[in-house]
Amino acid sequence: MMVKPFKKLYYFIALSASCILSCQSCSTKKEDGIIITPPKPTEIVDKQWSFEATPTWADEFDYTGLPLDSKWDYDLGGSGWGNNEKQYYTNSINNVNVADGKLFITAKKESMNGMAYTSTRLVTRNKMDVLYGRIEVKAKLPSGRGTWPAIWMLPTDRAYGDWPKSGEIDIMEHVGYDQNNVHFTTHTEAYYFKINTQKSSTKLIPDASTAFHIYRVDWTPYAVRGYYDNVMIFEFANEGTGYKVWPFDKRFHLLLNVAVGGDWGGAQGIDDTIFPQKMEIDYVRYYKIIEK
């Protein structure tokens, strides 16, 4: 059927308005009847930062006994730690000690304060808190179903709010039921595991529990990059859209721990015959970023 000219003009105007509104809906939101256009992302330039050749903070574990209290503190207790973990964290030499040039974190099958296992969670909070830089840890991992060792970082000040708003960097995570698959992950409000948006990479390391390997993060204003044995296996770049994606512009500290069970580590149960299990650390080193 033929359409008259004025009807053609009406349809054109209506269609154009519809397209404009459709396009606006893709890039704007409405608050109290006012259309708000979000700011454009800030362009973050990779300046190809490098790092100082000598660490400004390190522990080579060239002593014996408990870890140095000038460098390390402890998270203590058995609250489940947000993951339904089964261990009670102690500062006992039975769970953490330095000997033969290495740090040992030992998870044991023993009851304490209502929990069925003991272990240790070492932290550098208020001892070594850093913004950007390179952290390198040489470690040998425990094995066996139910173990969940980690080398990771948390925000010291939680400037953007509680987890995951202020971020998390997992330099190394491993679960014993999935032997030799080692994971590097970052969590933020926009990208984290409970909404299945986490940024993560997995590397097969066939002798993760029988040999030492180097687990490293290079953290700059542009990106968090992960390296295993000096090969890059992970990169998460700053999108320039604010803290919900990139809260990594505040100081963080390092954590070393061996958890038992939990939502991930205990997903296939816990084999009590494997304990005690140890994570061995040869050294921990932090190198400052060279500003540009």
Domain ranges of the chain: 5-36, 50-290
Q: How many residues does the chain have?
A: 292
> Which residues make Cβ contacts (< 8 Å) with residue 162, sequence separation at least 6?
none
CA 282, CA 212: separation in Å to the nearest integer? 8
Phi first, then psi: give them for residue 271, nearest 5 degrees. -95, 105
**pLDDT band (50, 70, 90) for residue 35:** confident
Which residue out of 85, 136, 168, 189 is catalytically annotated? 168
CA 114, CA 207: separation in Å to the nearest integer? 35
- The verdict on whether 173 is a catalytic residue reads yes
Higher-scoring residue by pLDDT: 27, 128: 128
Classify strands 50-51 and 289-290 as parallel, antiparallel or unpaired: antiparallel
Structure tokens, 17:
């308005």
**pLDDT band (50, 70, 90) for residue 25:** very low
- The verdict on whether 168 is a catalytic residue reads yes
Res 188: pLDDT: 97
How much of the chain exceeds pLDDT 70, in percent?
A: 87
Res 40: pLDDT: 80
Distances (CA, A) of 155 to 73, 159, 168, 199, 255: 15, 8, 7, 18, 11
**What 8-state DSSP symbol labels residue 208?**
T
Q: What average pLDDT does this structure show over 154-173? A: 97
3-state secondary structure 83-126: CCECEEECCCCCCEEEECCEEEEEEECCCECCECEEECEEECCC
Q: What angle do CA 96, 56, 50 make, to 5 degrees?
A: 120
For the cut 80, the answer to whether the pLDDT of residue 24 exceeds it is no
User: Among residues 147, 127, 133, which one has the least CA distance to residue 268?
Assistant: 147
Q: What angle do CA 257, 181, 48 make, to 5 degrees?
A: 80
Which residue out of 43, 60, 85, 173 is catalytically annotated? 173
Q: What average pLDDT does this structure show over 166-193? A: 97
Q: What average pLDDT does this structure show over 57-72? A: 98
CATH no., domain 50-290: 2.60.120.200
Res 31: pLDDT: 55
| CA 116 from centroid of its chain's CA atoms | 26
Q: Is the peptide bond before 41 cis (omega within 30 degrees of 0)?
A: no
Write down the pTM of the prediction: 0.87
**pLDDT band (50, 70, 90) for residue 4:** very low
Which run of H or of E encompasses 26?
helix 5-27
In a 13 Å sphere around the CA of 163, the CA atoms on its Cβ side amount to 14
Please provide the distance, in angstroms rounded to a whole number, between the alpha carbons at the two ends of the chain. Answer: 69
Q: What average pLDDT does this structure show over 46-72? A: 98
State the CB neighbour count (10 A cutoff) for residue 55: 19
